[in-house]
Amino acid sequence: MERAVRGVLTGPPATDRRVGVGRRAPAPRPGVTTREAIRPMDVNAPRKHDDEHGHALRTHYDEHGYARLDRAFPATAAAEMAGAVWSALARKHGIDPKRPSTWTPAQPGGLGRLSKVGVFDRLGSPAVVAAIGALLGRQDWPRPGNWGGPLVTFPTPGPWEVPTGGWHLDFPARGANGVGLLLKWLGYLAPVGRGGGGTVVLSGSHRLVARFLREAGEAEPGRSPAVRDAVFGMDPRLRDLRGRPEVTVSGIPVRVVELTGEPGDVVFLHPHLLHAPAPNRSGSARLMVTGGLLV
């Protein structure tokens, strides 16, 4: 767990909703903007169609550090995966999906076996495989041994606020022991709405990380605490975004985005994008899958 950094990013986030290109977003709540999503790529459609969607996905990813693919894998598969997670929670913790009084601990663990037996392998759909190829700019990327592990966050009382701590990278920016993270993804097994425990990201921060690495030189390993502190130290406004939906740092727009979604959606994250866990203040469990490519 990262050491909390107090006083960081206390303003309201934008919310990334399921809105496809060419469709209008629901009216946002005051002070909160919405982000457009990328509609799913149809791998059976003509190649030009795939290229257009892949280009849109890559453009958003390069600019903001994340990109979402709606209906990336079947909702029926998401429901089956969610059922397997609930069954494991019942065995391991005595948790009943219909009895919220049993929903403890707030972030239950001990579910790693689900990944080992391939419960989440259907997340690797043709659309997801095509999207990863578009984001990496290559189709010969190494397929993962499994498609991720479960993320479960149960509701806890209190107001929803942007996290002031826990901002991090999952892997050193320059890799470790000859291994690096190419890409990370989050798959939705159940609806995650506003305030529902969805990960929050600092959109655009991957570009500030790139600037830090350039200026620091090759000797800088890019470990998470050093990178985080360097980015938040680039502009005093990053210490408090209240009333500032977006801050421009060195010409780069930066904002907090709360990632929401529906069963079957997938959000891809740049390996250098700063992100943090957020509290679940909804009435539902947050059920997701997180995975990534290590090379």
Are 14 and 33 contacting, i.e. CB atoms less than 8 angstroms apart? yes
Residue 48: predicted pLDDT: 52
Are 65 and 115 contacting, i.e. CB atoms less than 8 angstroms apart? no
Pairwise CA distance, residues 232 & 80, whole Å: 40
Pairwise CA distance, residues 78 & 83, whole Å: 9
Strands of the sheet containing 66-69, edge to edge, are 66-69, 266-269, 181-188, 286-294, 149-153
Domain boundary assignment for the chain? 14-19+33-294
Pairwise CA distance, residues 66 & 222, whole Å: 20
Are 220 and 176 contacting, i.e. CB atoms less than 8 angstroms apart? no
Packing angle of the helix pair 126-136, 47-64 (nearest 10 deg): 60
Residue 50: predicted pLDDT: 67
Residue 4: predicted pLDDT: 32
pLDDT in tens, the chain (295 residues): 333 332 333 345 676 653 332 233 333 433 333 333 444 444 333 345 568 888 999 999 999 999 999 999 999 999 999 999 999 999 999 999 999 999 999 999 999 999 999 999 999 999 999 999 999 999 999 999 999 999 999 999 999 988 888 999 999 999 999 999 999 999 999 999 999 999 999 999 999 999 999 999 999 999 999 999 999 999 988 877 655 678 999 999 999 999 999 999 999 999 999 999 999 999 999 999 999 999 9
Cβ neighbors of 277 (< 8 A, separation 6 or more) are 153, 163, 166, 197, 199, 200
What's the pTM?
A: 0.85
Pairwise CA distance, residues 195 & 1, whole Å: 21
Are 265 and 67 contacting, i.e. CB atoms less than 8 angstroms apart? no
Residue 167: predicted pLDDT: 93
Say which CATH architecture domain 14-19+33-294 belongs to. Answer: Sandwich (2.60)
Give whole-number Cα distances, 71 to 38, 90, 125, 178, 230, in Å: 10, 28, 10, 35, 36
Residue 16: predicted pLDDT: 62
Residue 13: predicted pLDDT: 63
The two three-digit tokens of residue 173, written as one number: 């920016």
